[in-house]
Amino acid sequence: MTSLASNSVRLTDVIAPSFYDIHWDIIDGKHTHYWLSGGRGSTKSSFVSVAIIMDIMSDPEANAVVLRKVKDTLNDSVKEQLIWAIEALGVSQYWDMPETKLVLTYIPTGQEIRFRGADKPKKIKSMKFAKGYCKIIWYEELDEFTSMEEVRMINQSLMRGGPKFTVFYSYNPPKSANNWVNTEKNFTRDDRLTCHTNYLTVPQDWLGQQFIIEAEHLKVTKPLAYEHEYLGNVVGTGGEVFDNVQTRRISDEEIEEFYNIKRGLDFGYAIDPLAYTVSHYDAKHRILYIYHELYKVRLSNREAYEHIQHENKDNGYIYADSAEPKSISELLQYGLRIGAVKKGPDSIEYGIRFLQSLNSIVIDDTRCPETAREFLTYELDKDANGNFKAGYPDKNNHSIDSVRYAMNDEAIDFRDKKKQAADYDNSPEARVRRNIAKQGKPKKGVHAV
């Protein structure tokens, strides 16, 4: 087998400095999933292609499957990118690169890189290779894929029969923070490493002077577009409801110190799930910690009770949806301390506005994955003209409602203070003071009336 060490090409000539740490992380086998986001010219695809060629030439059992959402884009994108890597590493004599087939073969061993479109992900099944197994998977333009469920289905098919896997996800982040790709990146996984890069971390001579000129022109003329397209930042669409959400592990030690426990319950059964959440509210610092959830469809009240009484050993009070008096009565009979929240015509608005006003909403996305998903993806609806509709959408918000019920007393207090402040601002005394302020201080010899 050919050794890359005998090649005269230096890796610093083909890998940008921003990827050095990722390169060594892959070599050391520290992670399985590598999420590489960035703007135009960040060279993330170049790095992945080099990493794949190096891994196959170093590990005689390694094969790769490279995917894009649409099959027709494979030949002119990822296949050409990998051919570039082969030539950049100076090893083209060891590779069979047919023009008409979607495969690249390492000649000394017969290891392969295969290319597949994910137009119909269910058809991507476990693959057999003459030599080794599918060690490497690359999702190029990940944001073109439909959902994480689609990606997970493909991974489950391909990640079989080997001791170690490396999965690359490369993409330009969509604008919306609530897009599934941006949301998924926020979830905590010990076997995942994320890296965000942009053209500013790449040697300018790799990109060319004209690339820099175009980028700088957009920076001056359309700074928001520049930030998204070239820096690869999530700039938002303006419809995101919660911009104060953080996802991280909340330790057992932290939970033991929690004292202001808030429990909420949103009923559901056939289609909508029952959502039960447990939180701690740090009123001094205005931080809400969400660390437990029950989120399930077709769950009977008895089954919900059995879960809740196991979690809620002190039988703390539960705030529940007032639209289900029969279910509340049943849970009361089982022994739970539970009651309906007080609702009003503006309870949804002020409940959400209160949650928006918090300094942060910290969600343990390992313990509460569905709650994290709802808060991270909740977004205003648009009308046929692309304008945001008034009011908050009543969908994909079951855990949000549960949390809102749990914080109902605080939301009512928040609403009352806002109304008091508004009434004060509209009082005759306040209007007089504003008029005086607009007129400014009276001149010498002139008396204010």
Pairing of strands 192-197, 287-296: unpaired
Which residues are CB-contacts of 102 (< 8 A; sequence separation ≥ 6)?
A: 74, 75, 79, 114, 115, 116
Q: How far apart are CA 362 and CA 377, in angstroms?
A: 15
CA distances from 332 to 117, 153, 277, 344 (A): 54, 42, 18, 24
Q: Does 140 participate in catalysis according to the annotation?
A: no
Calpha distance 251→293 (Å, rounded): 15
Amino acid at 192: R
CB count in 10 Å sphere of residue 149: 10
CB 339 within 8 A of CB 210: no
Q: Which of 141, 184, 293, 379 does the annotation list as catalytic?
A: 141
- Active site residue ranges: 141
